[in-house]
Structure 1
Amino acid sequence: MGKNSLLQRVIHRLATSDAELESEEMQRAVEAESAVPIRTCEDRQLVRLRGTVSNVTIHPRGGHPALEVELRDGSGAARLVWLGRREIAGIEPGRTLSVEGRVSCRRGERLLYNPRYELLDGPRGV
């Protein structure tokens, strides 16, 4: 590794916001796990995503509970929906997940219904 590339990395880190650096790190993790970047998902595509939970909400659908989770990977966001669930142990903001399922693109939003999931690490700061 030459001095120029080290200097370029230092300048990049100094000139880039923490959010952008975190986004770049998340995108490298997606590539390392051979997951699909969320921004590239197409309607009805079977995908494997990796990202961090940014928020968790419960929304009734047809009179039944539905756990909705926003997953971000640095390239975009996808909404994960588990029908008939109020909670899933371990799924909380800051948690990293790997999910698999069929994506539905609706009004610019990417949705996965009842995806298979794997908890990858503990919540941030633990």
Structure 2
Amino acid sequence: MKRLGRLLTEDPEVLDEDRIERECRTEGAQRAKDCRRGDEAVMVGELRAVQTCARSAKTGVVAEFFDGSDTVLLKWLGRSRIPGIEPGRKITVRGRVATADGMKVVYNPYYELHSDQE
């Protein structure tokens, strides 16, 4: 009964954050909020937004990665598109954490796309 009450009264975004964080912990990955600048991190989460930048000097793909604890920008430089990198996709990323404009960023991360059934 507690769960039903929570589902009816809790903010849907908070419920989504809880679900994502629970799923990511079961993978044994690091939480984004625990990662610091300079850390080599392995994180599991979902892509919330993906943007391609095809302007002359700023080519690349930028994705907003969220694991239920924090948001990290993933930036693939020199790419105009990456198949499978799309909003809502579950992904494992590995790379060195940097910061830019107050946000955590991983440049050119290694990534593994999870199947839609996971």
TM tier relative to shorter chain:
0.7 to 0.9
**Which residue is 1:3 aligned to?**
none
| Code of the aligned partner of 1:67 | V
- Does the 8 Å CA contact 2:18/2:68 hold for their aligned counterparts? yes
Structure 1 residues not aligned, in runs of 5+: 1-6
- What is the TM-score when the length of structure 1 is the normalising length? 0.82
Q: Which runs of 4+ in 1 moved over 6 A?
A: none
Q: Equivalents in 2 of 1:34, 1:8: separation in Å?
A: 28
**Which residue is 1:74 aligned to?**
68
Structure 2 residues not aligned, in runs of 5+: none
Equivalent residues in 2 for 1:41-80 (5 A)? 41-59=35-53, 63=57, 65-80=59-74
**Which residue is 1:32 aligned to?**
26
- What is the TM-score when the length of structure 2 is the normalising length? 0.87
Which structure has the greater CA radius of gyration? 1
Range moving further from structure 2, 14-23 or 41-50 = 14-23
**Which residue is 2:6 aligned to?**
12
Q: Tell me the C-alpha RMSD between the 2 structures.
A: 2.0
- Aligned-pair distance for 1:9? 2.4
Q: Equivalents in 2 of 1:60, 1:109: separation in Å?
A: 22
- Give the % identical residues: 32
